[in-house]
């Protein structure tokens, strides 16, 4: 059996507010195989997003280790972690988080600015990614000129353009109407099935979670 792509070992996370310590995750251990599509569900405040942030390397655990493809994220300093994220993680946010002054094409090209690719190659990759998400005809549009569903598809193109090891999606359909949400979920499913992308998704929506290969429930910072 191949080693898991993601290993979370006895991870706890607490936040401090003044002198008060607020535990968010409590001693979580979890393994995720390469090519999996996992949905994390649970009530608000259960620690879903925090767990996703730890796996994506945008936050650090208070205790425990997070290993992704053999790299212990807890041992990387800030700049090494930033570099690691640029190569290994694609992000899909609830509110798309596109840069408003850049076109769809430029937004998708953004992560590639951190690679040694020349401009024509970057453009080529970005165009391909936009075509994959069905927005080949919207490349020169600014985010304000796109619908919510289209913006999220641009965000997905931006997430996959650098061919990351994992895709993390935090409520990717939370701000979309039913039809757009369906399109986005179908796209994610395709990315997982056809391109073998490992996807971790946080959602409140049971319908969205059904599209994942497995569902993990969190409650009060613990895996149910």
Residue ranges binding another protein (CB under 8 A)? 53, 56, 58-59, 78-79, 82-83, 85-87, 91, 93, 97, 99-102, 106, 109-111, 113-114, 158
The least distance separating another protein from the CB of residue 118, rounded to whole angstroms, comes to 12
Instruction: Concatenate the DSSP letters of all residues of 124-191 into one string.
Output: HHHHHHHHHTT-TT-TT--GGGS-HHHHHHHHHHHHHTT--SEEEEESTTTTS-HHHHHHHHHHHHHH
Closest separation in Å from C-beta 184 to another protein: 18
Dist. CA 123–CA 112, nearest whole Å:
9
- Our CB check for another protein shows the closer of 111 and 172 to be 111
Q: Which is nearer to another protein, 73 or 211 (CB)?
A: 73
CA quadruple 103, 195, 93, 74: dihedral positive or negative? negative
Under DSSP, is residue 91 helix (H, G, I), strand (E, B) or coil? strand
Cβ of residue 178: shortest distance to another protein, in angstroms?
26
Q: Which is nearer to another protein, 158 or 216 (CB)?
A: 158
Residue 30 or 110 having the CB closest to another protein:
110
Q: How far is the CB of 169 from another protein (least distance, A)?
A: 13
Pairing relationship of beta strands 89-92 and 166-170 according to DSSP bridges:
parallel
Half-sphere exposure of 38 (CA within 13 A, CB side): 22
Which residue has 């009530």 as its token pair? Answer: 43
- Cβ proximity to another protein: between 18 and 194 the closer is 18
Paired tokens of 200: 């971790």
User: Minimum distance between the CB of residue 48 and another protein, rounded to whole angstroms?
Assistant: 13
């Amino acid at each position: 059996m191949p080693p898991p792509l993601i290993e979370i070992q006895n991870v706890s996370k607490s936040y401090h507010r003044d002198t008060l310590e607020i535990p968010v995750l409590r001693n979580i251990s979890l393994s995720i195989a390469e090519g999996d599509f996992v949905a994390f569900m649970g009530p608000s405040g259960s620690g879903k997003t925090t767990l996703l942030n730890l796996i994506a390397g945008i936050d650090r655990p208070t205790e425990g280790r997070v290993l992704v493809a053999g790299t212990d994220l807890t041992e990387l300093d800030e700049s090494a972690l930033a570099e690691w994220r640029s190569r290994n993680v694609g992000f899909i946010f609830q509110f798309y988080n596109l840069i408003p002054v850049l076109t769809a094409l430029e937004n998708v090209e953004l992560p590639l600015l951190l690679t040694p690719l020349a401009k024509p190659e970057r453009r080529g990759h970005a165009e391909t990614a936009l075509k994959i998400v069905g927005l080949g005809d919207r490349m020169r549009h600014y985010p304000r000129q796109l619908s919510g569903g289209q913006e999220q598809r641009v965000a997905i193109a931006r997430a996959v353009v650098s061919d990351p090891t994992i895709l993390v999606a935090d409520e990717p359909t939370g701000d979309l109407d039913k039809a757009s949400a369906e399109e986005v979920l179908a796209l994610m499913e395709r990315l997982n099935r056809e391109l073998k992308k490992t996807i971790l998704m946080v959602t409140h929506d049971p319908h969205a979670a059904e599209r994942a290969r497995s569902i993990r429930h969190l409650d009060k910072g613990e895996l149910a």
